[in-house]
């Protein structure tokens, strides 16, 4: 059977090599629900506008739902000569209803049809991603209570910097994920614009009601230019950019926890259900899920690059190049969804190695900044206090002591006016954490306020 798209001026069937080269049914079949949903809305509008009869609409709607059921049960065989999911569904409709089925494509083109299908699919995908991000936020939030009071070393330049509450660390990830959700919401607004009715490129002379189909499909607005409608893939590129940033955030988290799970760090124990062993070393518990999360971020970023390259030289309006937007788009969503689905139980099931962490918290002079600020509160300029604390750290390193273990004489070597007993009150990990006062800091009161606020928000 010739493809429906080969009718008209064509007198013969498509070359089989070209059929294999140009088909998209192998990947766009997953749009069948969106295609049928859009077709039913289109047919309902045609009936309201008296372009088809109410009886014809009822037959079309009923048969499209049957076709959807058949596809879900794998009872329809996909054939490359029918090219894409639109032609498969339409051919099945025509096989069942004859001329009534042929009326469905009135006042639309595959150009606005696929644009509609993709927007519906991306909108659903963004909603799923947003839900999973919220689940991951809640997983980190639950850890704030689970790890209450636990202190971790925070790092800059991968060097120990200052002590922070573990809950403050988890809140940092909640903030990152919230920015991701904000970008999804913003992107969704631009996705949620209805192209249906733009037809091939110039619109249609048929008396259609585009506002009606937009409302039936849950779109917030109607796309305003029929030329732009058929060529616009900004929404696909933008959504994959958003996914790329999510994947990058997940990759950074995975990298951190991979390091934390090593013997060298000894900060966290990962749930073994998400780890694997070695084929030769029986003692190994490898963080493969986190490594794959880190690795799969490259796929998502690569998909973004593919889409940007795909559209960079296309003239208006529709070009067949745009058929190639679906594999990278689908893969980006599939990959990020899979990573998020695994991230949630990993965050929930991991255990901080508090004994190992606390045993080494006094290493790295994490309280040096607190000591410097204590001096500043007593009138020393910041640069002067910075220099003097640096000198005290040098003495402590030479004596293999912590700052709190320095004697009064050691303090007075740096500055005769220093009262060691007084300054030592600001030293130690607990003292340093308790000293934080600024909004957004790791001070216990501020962290508790943030946890409470996120509980209400989530």
User: Apex CA 145: angle with CA 258 and CA 453, to 5°?
Assistant: 105
Determine which one of 11, 157, 417, 438 is catalytic. 157
Phi, psi angle pair for 157, to nearest 5°: 55, 25
Most distant CA atoms of the chain, gap in Å: 101
Q: Give the N- to C-terminal CA distance of the chain in Å, as an integer.
A: 55
CA distance 265 to 269: 11
CA distance 25 to 91: 14
3-state secondary structure 94-151: HHHHCHHHHCCCCCCCHHHHHHHHHHHHHHHHHHHHHHHHHHHHHHHHHHHHHCCCCE
Alpha helix positions (H), 147-165: none
Annotated catalytic residue 157: yes
Contact in structure between 304 and 332 (CB atoms under 8 Å): yes
Each as own residue / partner, the long-range contacts of residues 9-13 (CB below 8 Å, 24 or more positions apart, any chain) are: 13/81
Determine which one of 26, 278, 407, 452 is catalytic. 278
Annotated catalytic residue 278: yes
Cβ neighbors of 339 (< 8 A, separation 6 or more) are 247, 250, 293, 296, 297
CB neighbours (10 Å) of residue 273?
9
Cβ neighbors of 176 (< 8 A, separation 6 or more) are 249
Integer angstrom CA distances of residue 261 from 238, 265, 269? 35, 7, 6
Contact in structure between 171 and 450 (CB atoms under 8 Å): yes
CA distance 26 to 35: 15
β-pair type (268-269, 351-352) = antiparallel
List, by residue number, the catalytic residues. 157, 278
């Amino acid at each position: 059977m010739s493809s429906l798209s080969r009718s008209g001026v064509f007198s013969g069937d498509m070359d089989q090599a070209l059929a294999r080269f140009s088909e998209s049914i192998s990947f766009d079949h997953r749009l069948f629900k969106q295609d049928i949903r859009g077709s039913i809305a289109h047919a309902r509008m045609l009936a309201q506008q008296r372009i088809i009869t109410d009886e014809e609409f009822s037959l079309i709607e009923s048969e499209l739902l049957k076709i959807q059921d058949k596809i879900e049960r794998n009872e329809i065989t996909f054939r490359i000569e029918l090219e894409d999911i639109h032609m498969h569904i339409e051919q099945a409709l025509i096989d069942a209803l004859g001329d009534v089925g042929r009326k469905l494509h009135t006042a639309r083109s595959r150009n606005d049809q696929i644009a509609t299908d993709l927007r519906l699919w991306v909108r659903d995908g963004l909603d799923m991603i947003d839900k999973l991000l919220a689940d991951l936020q809640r997983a980190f939030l639950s850890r704030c209570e689970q790890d209450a009071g636990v202190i971790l070393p925070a790092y800059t330049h991968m060097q120990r910097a200052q002590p922070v509450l573990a809950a403050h660390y988890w809140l940092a990830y909640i903030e990152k994920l919230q920015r991701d959700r904000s970008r999804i919401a913003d992107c969704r607004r631009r996705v949620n614009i209805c192209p249906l009715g733009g037809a091939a490129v110039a619109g249609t002379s048929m008396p259609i009601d585009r506002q009606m189909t937009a409302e039936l499909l849950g779109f917030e607005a109607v796309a305003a230019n029929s030329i732009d409608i058929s060529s616009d893939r900004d929404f696909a590129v933008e959504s994959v950019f958003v996914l790329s940033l999510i994947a990058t955030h997940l990759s950074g988290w995975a990298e951190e926890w991979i390091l934390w799970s090593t013997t060298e760090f000894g900060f966290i124990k990962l749930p073994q259900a998400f780890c694997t062993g070695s084929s030769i070393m029986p003692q190994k518990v490898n963080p493969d899920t986190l490594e794959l999360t880190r690795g799969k971020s490259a796929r998502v970023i690569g998909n973004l690059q593919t889409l940007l390259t795909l559209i960079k030289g296309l003239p208006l309006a529709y070009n067949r190049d745009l058929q190639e937007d679906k594999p990278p788009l689908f893969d980006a969503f599939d990959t990020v969804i899979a990573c998020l689905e695994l991230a949630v139980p990993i965050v929930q099931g991991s255990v901080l190695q508090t004994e190992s962490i606390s045993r080494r918290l006094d290493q790295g002079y994490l309280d040096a900044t607190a000591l410097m600020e204590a001096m500043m509160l007593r009138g020393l300029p910041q640069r002067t206090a910075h220099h003097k604390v640096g000198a005290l750290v040098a003495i402590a390193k030479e004596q293999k002591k912590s700052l709190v273990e320095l004697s009064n004489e050691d303090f007075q070597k740096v500055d005769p006016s220093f009262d060691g007993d007084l300054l030592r009150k600001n030293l130690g990990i607990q003292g340093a954490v308790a000293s934080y006062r600024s909004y957004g800091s790791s001070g216990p009161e501020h962290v508790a306020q943030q946890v409470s606020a996120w509980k209400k928000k989530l």
